[in-house]
Structure 1
Amino acid sequence: MKQEVKIPQATTKRLPLYYRFIQNFAQEGMERISSKELSEAMKIDSATIRRDFSYFGALGKKGYGYDVQHLLTFFSQTLDQHETTKVALIGVGNLGNAFLKYNFQKNHNTHIVVAFDSKAPKEGKMISNIPVYHPDLLEEKYAEYGADLAILTVSSRSAQKMADRLAAMDAKGILNFTPERITVPDSMKLLTIDLSVELQALIYLIRNSDK
């Protein structure tokens, strides 16, 4: 029995980025690329690219590089680009509003279909053509709109409670933008992006770049 290869999370995060740049190469009419060319375009060292690609078998040939159309097809299938992912947004403050206005315009297969906010009326309202309901209707409307996963932009004190409700509904995953370190069942996928931590890391790099 063939053992399944475990893909590192860092590699997983880079897959959509690879796909975006390979799309750009295809649009420019390029038929093949080298790891060096991809490295220069993405600002990622070529050794990392080759290691990432190696998890998926022989994607290229030594001395030839990578066939652009082959990579395009591979990443499209790997990332399920032909299937639409429906997203629920929970929390429509400043960050939530920005998500509603953007609504993944560059990702044609990912869309926010419904949102929830404590200030929304029970009957709902429209913001950027997206229906926004009160969280009391989370279970009902999440199912009604067929959401696959949720983005959390609520306050820290509400984050775990919302995560628990999503877990009870068998939501597939959460993209957490709150500073709270929430916990979810093993059956759910969780990715946390703490903007304040990322900013502090950037400040540290800037201040220590010349040391």
Structure 2
Amino acid sequence: MNSKKKIPNATMKRLPLYYRFFKNSEKSGVDRVSSREISEALDIDSATIRRDFSYFGELGRKGYGYNVKSLLNFFMEHIQGNEVKNVAIIGAGNLGSALLNYKFSNINDRMNVVAAFDSNDEIVGTSINDTLVYHPDELEDMVSRHNIDVAILTLPAEVSQAMAERLVDAGIKGILNFTPIRLDVNDGIYVHNIDLSVELQALFFYMKHI
């Protein structure tokens, strides 16, 4: 990866789309693709794709395009990393259960959901899609025991900040936050916020102005 260039956030957000495209291309037996083919599949203009890739050096050749296997290996090594990331879902209610039933390996085979946590005694001790649901009292022990790196937070807003602090103290390095509040955590802990209400409002806005 070219460390001399600062990679824009917009480029970083497109990288998972590129990874999924190359992974699907490999599954389909495709050996090489052009920026035009990537553009048509992802609805991203070719110039943007070439600029995004330029941040990481020479990934393709003019007149040849991009080697699918090489690019897939690149994304796995330099963007995803070679280590498996263990993930916990905090809150196994409606949204948490839906996430537990989602096949994450379809988009990232370096992510392993190893535990879920919920205070509802009716589901503690049960399994959702082969993932055991633990009581929050066991959080710190399970984070340490399973080397959990990432937490997906799907709790009510009023308890999310306190849980985020517990997660950080337990050793979590990243949080995917589905709650409607902005979490206040230590520097060095990355929080990615997904507010479904904001995303829906943005969708309605774009629909209105098409």
Given the two structures, how large is their TM-score scaled by the length of structure 2?
0.90
Corresponding letter in the other structure for 2:41: A
Supply the distance in 1 between the matched residues of 2:21 and 2:13 (Cα, whole angstroms). 14
Deviations along 1:16-60, whole A, 9 cap, x unmatched? 221111122223333322111100011111121111101101111
Residue pairs, 1:39-188, within 5 angstroms: 39-80=39-80, 82-106=82-106, 107-120=108-121, 124-188=125-189
Give the deviation of 1:146 after TM superposition: 1.8
Distance 1:119 1:140 in 2: 19
Question: Which residues of structure 2 form unaligned runs of 5+?
Answer: none
Q: Which deviates more from structure 2 when the two are superposed, residues 126-135 or residues 48-57? A: 126-135
Alpha-carbon offset, residue 127 of structure 1: 2.6
Q: Which 5+ residue runs of structure 1 have no aligned equivalent?
A: none
C-alpha distance 87-112 of structure 1, shift in aligned 2 (>3 A): same
CA distance in 2, matches of 1:178, 1:148: 19
Residue 65 of structure 1: CA displacement?
Answer: 1.9
Structure 2 SS opposite 1:87: strand
Q: How many residues align?
A: 208
RMSD: 2.0
Task: Quote the offset at 1:122 in angstroms.
Answer: 11
Equivalent-residue separation in structure 2 for 1:123 and 1:59 (angstroms):
48
CA distance in 2, matches of 1:117, 1:123: 7
Question: What TM-score comes out, normalization by structure 1 length?
Answer: 0.90
Q: 1:93 to 1:203 in 2, by over 3 A?
A: same
User: Following TM superposition, by how much is the alpha carbon of 1:159 offset from its aligned partner in structure 2, in angstroms?
Assistant: 1.1
**Inter-CA distance 132–120: structure 2 relative to 1 (3 Å threshold):** farther
Residue pairs, 1:186-201, within 5 angstroms: 186-201=187-202
Task: Report the 3-state secondary structure (helix = DSSP H, G, I; strand = E; otherwise coil) of the residue aligned with 2:104.
Answer: coil
Whole-angstrom distance in 2 between the partners of 1:6 and 1:154: 34
Bigger Cα displacement from structure 2, 76-85 vs 196-205: 76-85
For the residues of structure 1 that align with 2:28 and 2:85, how far apart are their CA atoms? 28
**1:131 match: secondary structure:** strand
Amino acid at match of 1:10: A
Percent identity over the alignment is 52
